[in-house]
């Protein structure tokens, strides 16, 4: 099986977050979170780094199949909603 590694964000309950957004590398996923939850600078000179919010997210590794496990075709399409790949040549899902 040929595959490539990508990353996605989950919460403390294992739910996929941000509409299943997929990232090329681990750092890109964390950068996305830091942009979503930036440091808040208060008028009194204090700051809220939103650590509590950020600590509820996890960056997980995702292996995306680029070659069918069954027929070795490269006509494999990844479906982000169900996080599985489908081969259009043999019609099989890769996580079966």
Interacting residues of 48 by C-beta distance below 8 A, sequence separation 6+: 39, 40, 42
Residue 71 lies in a domain: yes
pTM check: above 0.85 = no
Residue 73 lies in a domain: yes
Domain around 31 = 3-87
Report the domain count for the chain. Answer: 1
Residue 94 lies in a domain: no
Residue 65 lies in a domain: yes
- In angstroms, the CA 94 to CA 73 distance is 12
Interacting residues of 43 by C-beta distance below 8 A, sequence separation 6+: none
- Structure confidence at residue 80 (pLDDT): 79
Residue 92 lies in a domain: no
Residue 93 lies in a domain: no
The pLDDT tens digits of the residues spanning 10-59 come to 999 989 999 879 999 999 999 999 999 999 999 999 999 999 999 999 99
């Amino acid at each position: 099986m040929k595959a490539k590694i990508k990353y996605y964000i989950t919460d403390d309950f294992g739910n996929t977050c941000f509409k299943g957004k997929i990232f090329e590398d681990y750092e890109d996923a964390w950068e996305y979170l830091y942009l979503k939850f930036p440091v808040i600078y208060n008028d009194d000179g204090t700051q809220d780094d939103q650590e509590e919010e950020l600590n509820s997210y996890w960056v997980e590794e995702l292996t995306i199949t680029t070659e069918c496990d069954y027929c070795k075709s490269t006509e494999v399409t990844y479906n982000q909603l169900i996080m599985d790949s489908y081969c259009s040549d043999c019609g099989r899902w890769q996580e079966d």
